[in-house]
Structure 1
């Protein structure tokens, strides 16, 4: 899910991502594209109109680093739709586990862990969507050099992701030059702007525009350690989750003891979504009873399931699922998991702030959106707002509500160079908690349109 603690480590300093000199493999062909086609998933008892593909792309021949992807063409007219890359964070969490299986992908996993149903709010309704397990050691991605697992960090992740995209476009040349967008959540607040910066620098250096980057969008994103820290405790205090004493101490220092105290204050709630139930044996049983009552798994459209991560863990460990997704048996993990502790514990470089990258990319005119589920206590709306305010961007228009089906979906503010959107009632994983609102948000981002308004809108002066 990302960001395992509430106090972020100050690690090694970050400089601009170096453009990788790893050569692009020119041997990719339509045969390899066809080899990656997924024909049918285990437990899929319905047909789909779109093609999807999964497999590996080597990003470093010397060490044998290979990243696993799953790509879904748009449901209608994919030739006219943009290409979007989704990244989950951690660092060390799988975009297949979260992005595909419980957020924006077309297939979500049923509570039995053996079958899938169709997500009616999948983002491939309006775009061709590519999911990447990055870096190596995450999900099904692997390396032949075990030292790679102990030396992951922001800079290499951005470099490997850039090589991945260039090589993937060799395999899928029909997407070269297509409008391209980056999006993700949580620690992807580092991955996404860093990769955008690497793409921009590479395009300037080489004059190559195969990756036609238009912009990026991040949600509940780790952005700036100082502002994230301030925002976390402000949100917890104003939400009634911590005491006055804990809040006052948090303004003085941030250490493990203060967070032990904070976690005790929170009680048994999910800090990623403070108003929804946590996963328990009771909630699993209840969800299974609902499943049995339904005639078709395709009808599971409403209600929040807090145990989605458990379902994915069962499903993606099934040998028949791994075979269908072309997982290399020689490198398949002994136990697939949603996040890798090995990757996160040995993370090498993580800058304390992304704000300088934002300033650079705002200045060159990239479309940049930040969104925030307003019930997340891990990287809350207050943290994101502090980071945006620190950029000093002029506001364009008033802070206002936006609407979906006549109901307030959240709030929004347009700045010069950046759009900010809150999603009402959503936690850390906005598309999991509010999939309908997340799809409205995504459509607005792609169209570069303001969030929907209502005639009864009242501006916040």
Structure 2
């Protein structure tokens, strides 16, 4: 018995120290940069492609874990978040959904219903990227969620352009080790990649729909940004694969929307450096060297030289929005934030708020040193997601790729280069679209795929252009192009 107790204590200590390792505060830029650079290392993530939907046919999810959810919906309801403003007229829920009971692996979600006609509006799952960054901290608290955090780190203000105006929205922290999501098996934080992230997210959805059965037959959409250019199509792929198994929950997937999405390594990097040069961030010399020596597949020493030279020339700017100010923590802050003027220090405010004891209690989470991004190890990641997008198009799923046009990390040039490789015929030619009588961006519709830009938006589109982002997502959910006038 004593040996068992000592073994248990040692396991808990190992888990504790591994969690400390993952609590370092990073951001989405750093996490995506790490992955891209790892491609050139001696031990890159496995790059195997996904099987076709017909080959897969749900075989890797047998048996599928479905737990008991009796009473958990009511237990997950949030009466009020600490510091929330008056006038909140929608239901909020949060908590854990177990995806692997043997490992003790559970994913955290935050769910907000629409304040009007929630019973008839679609269901949207939002995923942030990284890999390893929080959909709650970024997506819900800085982008498209109903609240944003004031500079005091203790109070909230309303986002009048929140996406729950158009849909009921789930924010999922995935994989385990990100945000409040966790596992009791420490190896889960090291041995994770695209495939397990997709599988766990699918198991989460099946169980979540048992907890909220009124949404089982609702039109379902998945949206996300950055490295969610992998997560979203892969989860859609997994859903379609398992919908073929009639013994399982059929999820009524209608479409996916991915913003400033990393979907193809070669065109992604090529588009990034072309964007730098066309926006006067790098020199003619660097661009000439990149064009001469870089094919963005095999990296030579001369290619690396000019890429590094270009990176240094860009300088210390917010690469998420090349025209935005940087966070200056010593600058005076207003007591109340504004959704019309995104605060570059928002990461700090969210970090402080989500680590308040009373906030974690209201969210029904176990005490956690929350961070926006976590250092989970990434074991598998295909170099391109384009074949998966082609499969989704073939299955009739609506695919939208949108791009904030001031993002330098995954710029619009990368999205255009990636989509052009698919050689899809144009259905509706390139044109401007409008929001509040101004050009909100530009859109072109191909057969099976829509590409749209968002004018004046950075990597986190709803942060910088909340009204235009709501116009965009409302059009997507209604399955029509953004307004022509």
- Same fold? TM cut 0.5: yes
Distance apart, 1:211 and its partner CA: 1.2
The one of 55, 60, 73 equivalent to 2:113 is 73
Distance 1:236 1:113 in 2: 35
Q: What are the Cα deviations for residues 154-200 of structure 1, in whole angstroms up to 9, with x where unaligned?
A: 00000000000001111111110110000000000000000000000
Is the 8 Å Cα contact of residues 87 and 188 (structure 1) preserved in structure 2? yes
Q: Deviations over 1:132-161 (max 9, x none)?
A: 000000000000000000011000000000
CA distance in 1, matches of 2:67, 2:197: 22
**Which of 386, 408, 417 is residue 377 of structure 1 equivalent to?**
408
Distance, in Å, in 1 between the alignment partners of 2:268 and 2:94 is: 35
Aligned length: 436
- Please point out which of 366, 380, 403 is paired with 1:328: 366
Distance in 2 between the 1:91 and 1:257 partners?
Answer: 26
Asked if residue 424 in structure 1 is aligned to residue 459 in structure 2, the reply is: no
Give me the CA root mean square deviation: 1.6
Show the counterpart of 1:274.
322
Taking the TM superposition and a 5 Å limit, the aligned residue runs for 1:35-184 are 35-184=75-224
Once residues 341 and 194 of structure 2 are traced to their aligned partners in structure 1, the CA distance between those partners, rounded to angstroms, is 36
Q: Matches of 1:142 and 1:256 in 2, distance apart?
A: 38
Determine the structure 2 residue equivalent to 1:20. 61
Q: Per the alignment, in what secondary structure is the counterpart of residue 397 of structure 1?
A: strand
Whether the 8 Å contact between 2:82 and 2:154 is mirrored in structure 1 is: yes
SS of 1:370's equivalent? strand
Classify the secondary structure of the residue corresponding to 1:391: coil
The match for 1:404 among 412, 419, 435 is: 435
Q: Is the 8 A contact 2:329 2:345 kept in 1?
A: no
Q: Is the 8 A contact 1:14 1:349 kept in 2?
A: no
CA shift in 2, pair 1:229/1:163, >3 Å: same
Residues 39-97 of structure 1, C-alpha deviations (whole Å, 9 max, x = no match): 11111241411111000000011111100000001111211010000000000000011
Q: How far is the alpha carbon of 1:259 from its aligned partner?
A: 4.8
Report the equivalent of 1:436: 467
- Please report the TM-score for the alignment, with normalisation by the length of structure 2: 0.87
The whole-number CA distance in structure 2 between the counterparts of 1:22 and 1:63 is 15
Show the 5 A alignment for 1:301-312. 301-312=339-350
TM superposition score normalised by structure 1: 0.91
Matched with 1:300 is 338
1:359 aligns with 2:390: yes
- In the alignment, the residues of structure 2 paired with residue 104 and residue 453 of structure 1 have an alpha-carbon distance, to the nearest angstrom, of 23
Cα offset, 1:21, TM superposition: 2.5
* Residue segments in structure 1 that go unaligned for 5+ positions in a row: 292-296, 455-461
Partner in structure 1 of residue 260 of structure 2? 220
Offset of residue 209 of structure 1: 5.1
The verdict on how the C-alpha distance between 1:158 and 1:3 changes in structure 2, with shifts beyond 3 A counting, is farther
| Contiguous gaps of at least 5 residues in structure 2 | 1-26, 40-44
State the match for 1:458 in structure 2. none
Residue 126 of structure 1: how far off its partner (Å): 1.2
Alignment partner, residue 238 of structure 1: 278
Deviations 1:380-437 (A, max 9, x none): 0000001111011000122111111221111100000011100001010000000000
CA distance in 2 between partners of 1:432 and 1:211 (Å) = 30
Does the aligned pair in 2 maintain the 1:103–1:435 contact within 8 Å? yes
* Alpha-carbon distance in structure 2 between the residues aligned to 1:393 and 1:451: 20
Deviation digits for residues 250-274 of structure 1 (CA, Å, limit 9, x no counterpart): 3323576555433321122111100
Cα distance in 1, alignment partners of residues 225 and 254 from structure 2: 18
Show the counterpart of 2:373. 339
Does the 8 Å CA contact 2:109/2:172 hold for their aligned counterparts?
A: yes
Give how far 1:282 is off. Answer: 4.5
Per mean C-alpha deviation after superposition, the further-off stretch among 404-413 and 87-96 is 404-413
Q: Distance in 1 between matches of 2:380 and 2:317?
A: 31
Q: Secondary structure at the match of 2:203?
A: helix
